[in-house]
Structure 1
């Protein structure tokens, strides 16, 4: 939406070193974009709540499968190539090093266990093995790259001229942002002014909402599979999509500039940690299952308290509660 010609940033804002972020002109430039985004998110979130709480998404479940989810997620990421290339082009050397570190940590060093100091009630202070590179590959790569940029900035290796190549890789180009930020701030609805609504903005956000709902359905099934729970029923999926829409409505009212949805990366972390432990997990699936009994037997709703090891296999002696 903000890539439309009407919302392109003025040329005088392109040079960060020459922009006074506290000036009324600059504040109005970004706040009017936030207000436009607020209105579009709030209207689109109402559509998502309608789809979720009315049960439409449950009806459409027959058309949503792996062949639907995978292309949708891929198409959502396609517009990001332009932004990624533009930002990485600020300094291709630093960008290439960051990508290399992410691949190195996540693919080749993921099984290396690092000893860390922990505290427990029984063993008190002791060391344990933690797969640091598997859990934080992106964060570690970003921290290392930033530290390198900081060293190159302090040693004046990066150019100090704003128009020179590599200047944006310096760590002090936006240092005034932290110094001018208030220590405490309490957000509230409408803090950027009255939200504005346009047809183009609403339809643009609705397209994102549709792809978000499709992705969330896949996340629900993946999460249930990883924790050993039965597949979520349609009414649970309807509630989940509706609550995500409610979260988007609140986010739009507060002016965060984004919506809320299930985060696929957290599902991957769930598969790595097995619900916060790598050896054993106690889980209580909150989706009931219906069983058919023999002759004359009615249906029983079953809640299973299951034990899993790190391989995902159910252990013996799992307790079952039948109602």
Structure 2
């Protein structure tokens, strides 16, 4: 009995360690989304509300993870916020009707407790919430009705590659603005993350350990492989703190480098409550915008296609058989329910499967649903602890910018990697991908500079066109989808699929076509 009890304790300790590894892989992506959205919501000078948004997204991510593991695809895969909805959300919030008043951009003019300021950002949040909730109903319908299998027959890698790549590439401006607040600090953060994740990833750290067989011994812990982003941010954060307390960084808000100080956010940690509880309608009754719904739907379609690929990759890496169609349908349906909850709880975002989690599976070879369930509970706990969200908001701006440089670059490359099973010696495929990518950079850029060009006389139609044509991933994905399904020569799909199967690939079309 004692032996069994000891073994159970060892298993629980192992699960806790593995749980820590998995939720840390989602850390960067989860905190990035509220920080980006805060600019469009006019919250760049309201750190306390930013911290509440971070708590909200942690809480909902944990809740959706538990739902997905128990009721959804039932694979060990984390759920979290999706950058696929960030781009259309920012396109909606950048429209003339929703552009932030000039005074909200000046910290000295912002009174965060003022009813006027609260109404400014909550009006935008409620519109974003309602748009996400309505759009997520489509995902629920597509998932639980089984339509996802039919849709994926027409959505190939030449549609997915430009769509996912442009999610990362379209956020270059946000990364540049934050990194440019102090290029030295942001470059240091980037270099540290590269050092930890690429150069030192296979170097173990010796740590003391004990078990019944080996007694007290030295074990290998791959620290740099497990938490490179967290380590990079922590070291840069510490450097900024030291530069702040020794007054190396300027104290004048108008001087270059001021945003690298760790005391910029004031007393946000002390002002934040120890415990915070989110609930549907926290920011008021959600409202919907036709343009917002259409834009979010474009992001959700991209998210669904990416999730199907993640399911197959997760199944293979965890040693499970390829997920059957009914499991995929449940997974997409539950993700739709998750986005509905995310909208209702006021995260300003939806939910999707975390590709970073799939990558962590490949590294750790831990395919336990128990570990992912524990990760979900940890994220819920972090969403309840108000001080946690407040601490994350104090990360200096250039440190966030350095992290964005890595994160958005990897997202862009991950999109292109969808072409690995496609014949890129074909002039047809090269044309479709190249034209879709370039057009998706040119058209939105021109429309944003000439927003009065779209004038049909119907305001709602103008808004829909404005959001769609300024959303890079929609333009690239639509052109890739249209050209791939109309230009003759799609036989390459069947050939590539056959090759991918023989190479034990996880390309989702091999299982759906």
Rounded Cα–Cα distance in structure 2 between residues aligned with 1:127 and 1:259: 43
Rounded Cα–Cα distance in structure 2 between residues aligned with 1:106 and 1:154: 30
Relative to structure 1, is the Cα distance of residues 8 and 116 closer, same or farther in structure 2, using a 3 angstrom cutoff? farther
1:46 matched to 2:142? The reply is no
Relative to structure 1, is the Cα distance of residues 119 and 244 closer, same or farther in structure 2, using a 3 angstrom cutoff? farther
Deviations 1:40-78 (A, max 9, x none): 110011011011111110122333444443332112222
**In the alignment, which residue of structure 2 is the partner of 1:131?**
222
Specify which of 328, 335, 340 is matched with residue 249 of structure 1: 340
Residue 221 of structure 1 and its aligned partner are, at CA, apart by 1.1
1:72 matched to 2:163? The reply is yes
**In the alignment, which residue of structure 1 is the partner of 2:306?**
215
Relative to structure 1, is the Cα distance of residues 204 and 55 closer, same or farther in structure 2, using a 3 angstrom cutoff? same
1:210 alignment partner, SS class: helix
1:27 matched to 2:118? The reply is yes
Rounded Cα–Cα distance in structure 2 between residues aligned with 1:137 and 1:27: 37
Specify which of 273, 276, 283 is matched with residue 364 of structure 2: 273
Deviations 1:227-259 (A, max 9, x none): 232222222111110000001111111112221
Higher helix fraction: Structure 1 or Structure 2?
2
* Contact 1:58 1:235 survives alignment (8 Å): no
Residue 125 of structure 1 and its aligned partner are, at CA, apart by 6.1
Rounded Cα–Cα distance in structure 1 between residues aligned with 2:213 and 2:98: 59
* Contact 2:136 2:337 survives alignment (8 Å): yes
1:168 matched to 2:259? The reply is yes
Specify which of 63, 81, 84 is matched with residue 175 of structure 2: 84
- Unaligned ranges ≥5, structure 2: 1-91, 369-503, 505-513
Segment of structure 1 superposing worse, 90-99 or 55-64? 55-64
Residue 276 of structure 1 and its aligned partner are, at CA, apart by 6.5
Higher strand fraction: Structure 1 or Structure 2?
1
Larger radius of gyration: 1
Relative to structure 1, is the Cα distance of residues 65 and 273 closer, same or farther in structure 2, using a 3 angstrom cutoff? farther
Deviations 1:138-162 (A, max 9, x none): 1111111111111111111111111
Query: Residues 1-323 of structure 1: matches in 2 within 5 Å?
Result: 1-16=92-107, 18-118=109-209, 126-275=217-366
Residue 206 of structure 1 and its aligned partner are, at CA, apart by 0.9
Residue 83 of structure 1 and its aligned partner are, at CA, apart by 0.7
1:128 alignment partner, SS class: strand
Residue 11 of structure 1 and its aligned partner are, at CA, apart by 2.1
Deviations 1:184-224 (A, max 9, x none): 22211111101011111111111111111011011011111
With normalisation by structure 1, the TM-score equals 0.80
How much is the aligned-residue C-alpha RMSD, in angstroms?
2.1
* Contact 1:16 1:173 survives alignment (8 Å): no
Rounded Cα–Cα distance in structure 2 between residues aligned with 1:124 and 1:29: 62
Rounded Cα–Cα distance in structure 1 between residues aligned with 2:323 and 2:254: 55
**In the alignment, which residue of structure 1 is the partner of 2:438?**
none
- Unaligned ranges ≥5, structure 1: 278-311, 313-323
2:250 alignment partner, SS class: coil
Relative to structure 1, is the Cα distance of residues 15 and 115 closer, same or farther in structure 2, using a 3 angstrom cutoff? farther
2:251 alignment partner, SS class: coil
Deviations 1:97-116 (A, max 9, x none): 11111111111111100023
Rounded Cα–Cα distance in structure 2 between residues aligned with 1:171 and 1:124: 44
Residue 177 of structure 1 and its aligned partner are, at CA, apart by 2.1
Q: Give the number of equivalent residue pairs.
A: 278
